[in-house]
A and B are shown apart, each in its own frame.
Chain A
Amino acid sequence: MAACAGSYLACRGAEMTDVLLEARGIVRLYPGNIALNGVDFRVHRNKVNVLIGENGAGKSTLMRILSGVEQADEGSIFLEGNPVHIRSPREATAQGIAIMHQELSVLPNLDVAENIFAGRELTKSGLIIDKSNEDRQSQRALERLQQHLDVERHVSQLSLGTRQMVELARTIAHGSRILILDEPTSALSTAEAESLFRVVEELKASGVSIVYISHRLHELLHLGDHFTVLRSGRVVGEAPREDVTREWIVERMSGGAEEAISRRCSVPRDADVVLEVHNLTLAPSVGDEGAQAPVHDVQLSLRCGEILGIYGLLGAGRTELLEALAGFRRLENGTVQVRGKIVHPESVKDAVRAGLVLVPEDRQRDGLIPDLSIRENIALVANSGPVYSRQKEVERVRSLVRDLQIQVRDLELPVVALSGGNQQKVLLARCLMRDPVVLMLDEPTRGVDVGAKAEIYRTLKALASKGLSILFTSSEIEETRLLADRVLVLCQGRVRVELQKEQLTDEALFAAASPDVACARRIEGVPA
């Protein structure tokens, strides 16, 4: 029986020589949870192997096993048909397997080149770090990513998107034959994502096999050669690109966001304007003097119950615009009116008093207090006066948790115990506790799985129909189109075009934001 099976596999292996790495019958148990339940996964040589599934489906666990971060409880891994044991990330690297993790793991206190060679420093005669060589090679890796970046800049000064590029450069510089990309575009703008796609194509052509994980169907369909769908720790579908359609994927993943969102009637054109911004200009951030103002002469108005999207590339000034309104950064020029009254959001406190609150982009860094419980995180700043009533607080938090469908019974658990989607809702709840006039969200569903995404969209639409005005920015075209009633497209800090609900198509948004001659000409046309 065993011999028979062996010969069958050997035979199949000979047939499918294009399989570089194969995982068979992988089982991984977590306390209380089967993360992987007998998963077979094949990495085809010189192909982009796409792995799809909702958060919690087991994608990241499988990749952690392939890259040696975790060990499987059962099952085996074959590289070119030979069984291998990958017991540590170091051994994975030795086998030529590199991974770019979903959560960034850059060292902010080191410079770009030091990051790229962290842990495998280049040395002169094994003693002294060869910094100039490291710089040179880093430059080369970054050039392949079409990133023009000073390799001696500290990573702490870089934006999230650029940090990810540094991390990608690190995996490229390792010269691996299998490259695992775990949600590489979740923090990238369209332009950066485009350059990443080019790099992926180029790497594929130069003989690297790629495993690609993402939530974004359109980029998967664009890039992928071979598709595997995971659901609840099992493989529920496997097919080459020719046999894959959008519907095929959605059906297997279940819970597609798009279908789940009910359409909402449009906002009456005569609803009261609650937020008006005139001639808003921002000063460049500290340490970045000499750079252009991140936001230039922006006008916008928002009606009661309206959802306004701000779309643009990285560096277009989206985040900066919201941060200024939320009192995180200084206005250089311009006026902000809330319900007809001029306000000066010079600090977060002022902004909140005026009714402007922001759910920040980076939950872990700017939002959550990891040591505090879910309740305390939600009610963090909700109480005024020297003492608060615990009972009242619990009641308010409970009702919000119910409204937002945060799925947890015990509010005293630490907030880090929650999934990404629920953590996002905790921050949403915190903002709602402050009775905002305008709720602002920077990347409302970053790092959130498809199911929770749909829920957040529904929640936001429900809030808007109750009269809350929402201002959000997103780097995802799909999200912008699905959520917004109206969209302002920013380009290099200026409003480029305003699109109404009827005009919102992927193509229109993409064209409006893409770096092109028209945009450049506009900027150049303005006297310095």
Chain B
Amino acid sequence: MATMQILTQRDRLASSSARTALLLLRGRALIVLLLLVLTFSVLTPLFFTGNNFAILSKHVALSAILAIGMTFTILTEGIDLSVGSVAGLSGIVAGYVIANGHGGTVAAILAAVAVALIVGLLNGFLIVRAGVAPFIATLGTLYMARGAALLSSSGRTFPNLATKSAAFAIVGQGSLLHIPIPVCLMLLLYVVAAFIASRTPLGRHIYAVGGNERAARLAGIEVSRVKVFTYLASAFCAALVGIIIASQLDAAHPATGESFELNAIAAVVLGGTSLSGGRGSITGSLLGAFVIGVLADGLVMLGISEFWQIAIKGAVIVLAVAIDQFQVRLQARLLPFLLRSNPEAGA
């Protein structure tokens, strides 16, 4: 009897504090983001201004869009390293179409997206059919896409695109209801992607493939199709980024997007998506992209050297993964508590 009493007391205490901790951990990307905004707002008056947020969100939109596509591939226990190069290639394709007078803005965008989807399909084919590991397959297409961009432009830039097709400037520089178009695109993409991930059978199949591919296959899920979809989605996002950048710069440069993939992966990981697949969310990746963006922006405003910024970014990423592992362990330890709130649950 005495043991029982001690136990319940110990339980209640441990249970409530652990639950709170878990709740905080789950919302950590949002909490960190709010803390960063608060800190920088206190430290510099320039930070909390409409103007700064407009610039900030335009920057963040690029890595956020890439991160959204990347999340799908990582959820299936894959990865897409080719996104930076695909962004560069798409920009070049759009620039090529406009600069050589092959078509207007719409044609340029369609061509850019089509080429990106071909690379995405190639990624999917290499991974699903040829059985190449995602890391290697997309590393290969990273170089292939970059090479294609350099070849098709002979290494040169396609300048002054807006003079040939005025509408092209809108994609990167226009705004809708005072919101920059890139930010609108990011929000739209976020809503669609979050819906796919959480409310459609396709989304559930993506989680299932990442959680236990064998079981998913035996349950009748078409694993190959699911995987190919994720690489197509990722390539599509990369194409958008490439087009936006070309529009913003009013020029297509073949080196655009170099090492963008690393920023996108960092955002996904910061957002709590597990690199071993099956666990994570689109919302997390969006928040992750904002954490990185706000951190960079704030540090610049405080006048902290760029070298420090790079080092700090790295530390934040590593810390994020360490916290994620802590959360996983805590959750496992909490399972008995969770079950106890369901007295009928199995032992």
Contacts and interface: CB of A to CB of B under 8 A. Distances in A.
Interface of A: 27, 29-34, 37, 55-56, 326-328, 347-349, 351-352, 358, 360, 365-372, 376, 379-381, 383-388, 390, 407-410, 413-414, 416-419, 421-422, 430, 452
Contact of B347 (A348, A379, A419): A419
Nearest to A37: B3
Nearest to A367: B215
Interface of B: 3-4, 7, 10-11, 14-15, 199-202, 204-205, 207-208, 210-212, 214-222, 278-279, 333-342, 344-347
Contacts, number: 135
Given A27-B3, A31-B14, A349-B222, A370 B336 contact: no
Given A371-B207, A387-B199, A32 B337 contact: yes
Contact of A32 (B11, B214, B279): B11
B220 A407 contact: no
A386 B341 CA distance: 35
Contact of B3 (A29, A30, A56): A29
Contacts of A365: 212, 214-215
Contacts of B205: 381
Contacts of A348: 217-220
A27 B2 CA distance: 13
A380 B339 contact: no
Contact of A380 (B204, B279, B334, B336): B204
Given A31-B333, A31-B336, A32-B337, A371 B201 contact: no
A388 B279 contact: no
Contact of B278 (A369, A408, A421): A369
Contact of A413 (B208, B219, B338): B338
A422 B214 CA distance: 21
Contacts of B3: 27, 29, 34, 37
B327 to A, nearest CB: 13
Contact of A369 (B216, B220, B337, B342): B216
Interface of B is mostly: helix
B216 A360 contact: no
Given A371-B211, A376-B204, A386-B201, A32 B336 contact: yes
Contact of B346 (A27, A358, A422): A422
Contacts of B336: 30-33
B199 A381 contact: no
B211 A419 contact: no
Nearest to A376: B204
Contacts of A352: 220
A351 B217 CA distance: 13
Nearest to B331: A414
Given A29-B7, A34-B4, A383-B201, A366 B218 contact: yes
A348 B214 CA distance: 12
A344 to B, nearest CB: 15
Contact of A417 (B7, B199, B204, B345): B345
Nearest to A377: B208
Contacts of B212: 365, 368-370
A351 B325 CA distance: 40
